[in-house]
């Protein structure tokens, strides 16, 4: 019953995601969205031609995103704000079909001005906004200005909502940038052109952009970018990670030394206060398995601990210096 329940829940979430997409975004194969333009062109094109089936984790992320928007909207309403619209659709007035759906647009009729708020729901809060978030915001502000020439788009912001212990964080201070917007439209034009040619069989290879988020791409397994001897685009990410690991090891060693020194002091001296903290030696008991006694017991029945051991696999990132 439990397996069938999980299958039913995943199918229902898939249906909800499909309904939400149709109702709010329409047929995404017929236009480029703001998130499409900031993503790897190969991923964008292949996703439109062969939409991958979302797994349970991805479906839950979709629902989490919708929940975050609803929570923010409810909070704004409770705070007395009534000058905003949700899911505002704006289209590029040129030939290339670019359409964005803006989470929140705040409107001041008195000043004839608008402001954009994009809501994100990351699993963990980043120190700063991701580049793809900023790309999406700049495109949204540019399209909004093009669609409402009688209004001045003043600013934009990104609100990250984390459902864990990190709460919310606002990344603001963004203003429309004409050069960035025009550059994104040029990028959209190139992606749409390749999309049309690839779909017609007139193009055999697509532009690829490798980065740290490639692990979440459903088409990464067959990506030619990773068939290269060395993926240069990941150099910075690997460099930062290895440096952080060195710092982590140094910090762990320093922490251990300081903890042992303080433990030695309170063990000899007794409890004390320092830096507004109370320090004392604590002793706790925990139950452990006596393997020797258990093995002796099992021998009486012609068995050993190895008869009850199983091998399980786990995955991890191994980093070692290349030859």
**Domain boundary pick from 209, 243, 266:** 209
Is the domain of 173 the same as that of 251? no
Q: Is 114 helix (H, G, I), strand (E, B) or coil?
A: strand
Is the domain of 246 the same as that of 178? no
> Quick one: pLDDT at residue 49?
92
Please state whether 134 falls in left (phi above 0), alpha (psi between -120 and 50) or beta.
alpha
Is the domain of 240 the same as that of 202? no
Is position 299 within any domain? no
Structure tokens at 39: 């993503």
At residue 315, φ and ψ (nearest 5 deg) are: -115, 150
Is position 97 within any domain? yes
Q: What is the pLDDT of residues 76-90, one digit of tens each?
A: 999 999 999 999 999
Is the domain of 67 the same as that of 161? yes
Is the domain of 55 the same as that of 201? yes
Is the domain of 184 the same as that of 268? no
Is the domain of 236 the same as that of 123? no
Is the domain of 161 the same as that of 28? yes
**Domain boundary pick from 175, 209, 243:** 209
Q: With a cut of 50, which residues of the chain have pLDDT below it? A: none
Task: Kindly report the CATH number assigned to the domain that includes residue 120.
Answer: 3.90.320.10
> Quick one: pLDDT at residue 322?
74
> Quick one: pLDDT at residue 81?
92
Taking the C-alpha atoms of residue 137 and residue 126, their distance in angstroms, rounded to an integer, is 17
Is position 221 within any domain? no
Q: Is 238 helix (H, G, I), strand (E, B) or coil?
A: helix
Helix axes of 2-24 and 56-78: crossing angle, nearest 10 degrees: 60
> Quick one: pLDDT at residue 117?
97
> Quick one: pLDDT at residue 230?
80
Is the domain of 13 the same as that of 90? yes
Is the model's pTM score more than 0.95?
Answer: no
> Quick one: pLDDT at residue 31?
92
Is the domain of 122 the same as that of 51? yes
Q: What is the pLDDT of residues 54-76, one digit of tens each?
A: 777 777 888 888 899 999 999 99
> Quick one: pLDDT at residue 23?
54
Provide the b/e sequence for 257-294 (b: ≥16 CB within 10 Å): eeeeeeeeeeeeeeeeeeeeeebeeeeeeeeeeeeeee
Taking the C-alpha atoms of residue 26 and residue 17, their distance in angstroms, rounded to an integer, is 12
Which of 71, 109, 108, 103 is CA-nearest to residue 90? 103
Which of 37, 18, 53, 52 is CA-nearest to residue 195? 37
Contact 179, 140 (CB under 8 A): no
> Quick one: pLDDT at residue 18?
61
Is position 313 within any domain? no
Is position 32 within any domain? yes
Is position 322 within any domain? no
Residues forming a β-bridge with 90? 100
Which of 114, 14, 112, 5 is CA-nearest to residue 62? 14
Is position 168 within any domain? yes
> Quick one: pLDDT at residue 115?
97
Is the domain of 144 the same as that of 258? no
Lookup result for tokens 């909207």? 73
> Quick one: pLDDT at residue 164?
80
Structure tokens at 199: 């779909």
Q: Domain of 68? A: 2-209
> Quick one: pLDDT at residue 142?
96
> Quick one: pLDDT at residue 111?
95
Is position 311 within any domain? no
Is the domain of 136 the same as that of 201? yes
Residues forming a β-bridge with 32? 98
Q: Report the number of distinct structural domains present in the chain.
A: 2
Helix axes of 178-199 and 41-49: crossing angle, nearest 10 degrees: 50
Taking the C-alpha atoms of residue 114 and residue 112, their distance in angstroms, rounded to an integer, is 7
């Amino acid at each position: 019953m439990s397996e069938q329940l999980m299958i039913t829940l995943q199918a229902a979430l898939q249906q909800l995601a499909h309904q939400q997409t149709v109702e709010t975004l329409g047929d995404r194969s017929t236009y480029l969205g703001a998130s499409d333009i900031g993503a790897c062109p190969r991923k964008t094109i292949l996703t439109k031609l062969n939409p991958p089936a979302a797994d349970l984790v991805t479906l839950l992320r979709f629902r989490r995103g919708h929940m975050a928007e609803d929570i923010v909207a409810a909070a704004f309403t409770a705070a007395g704000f009534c000058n905003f619209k949700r899911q505002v659709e704006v289209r590029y007035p040129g030939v290339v079909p670019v359409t964005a759906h803006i989470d929140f647009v705040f409107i001041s009729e008195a000043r004839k001005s608008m402001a954009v708020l994009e809501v994100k729901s990351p699993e963990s809060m980043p120190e700063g906004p991701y580049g793809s978030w900023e790309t999406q915001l700049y495109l949204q502000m540019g399209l909004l200005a093009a669609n409402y020439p009688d209004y001045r788009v003043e600013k934009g912001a990104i609100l990250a909502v984390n459902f864990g212990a990190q709460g919310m964080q606002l990344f603001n201070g963004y203003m429309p940038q004409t050069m960035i917007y025009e550059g994104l439209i040029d990028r959209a034009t190139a992606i749409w052109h390749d999309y049309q040619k690839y779909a017609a069989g007139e193009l055999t290879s697509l532009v690829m952009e490798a980065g740290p988020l490639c692990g979440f791409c459903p088409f990464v397994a067959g990506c030619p970018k990773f068939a290269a001897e060395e993926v240069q685009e990941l150099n910075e990410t690997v460099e930062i990670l290895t440096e952080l690991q060195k710092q982590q090891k140094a910090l762990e060693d320093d922490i251990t030394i300081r903890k042992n020194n303080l433990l030695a002091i309170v063990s000899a001296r007794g409890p004390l206060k320092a830096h507004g903290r109370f320090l004392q030696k604590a002793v706790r008991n925990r139950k452990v398995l006596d393997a020797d006694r258990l093995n002796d017991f099992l021998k009486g029945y012609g068995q050993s601990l190895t008869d009850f051991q199983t091998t399980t696999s786990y995955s991890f990132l191994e980093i070692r210096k290349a030859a």
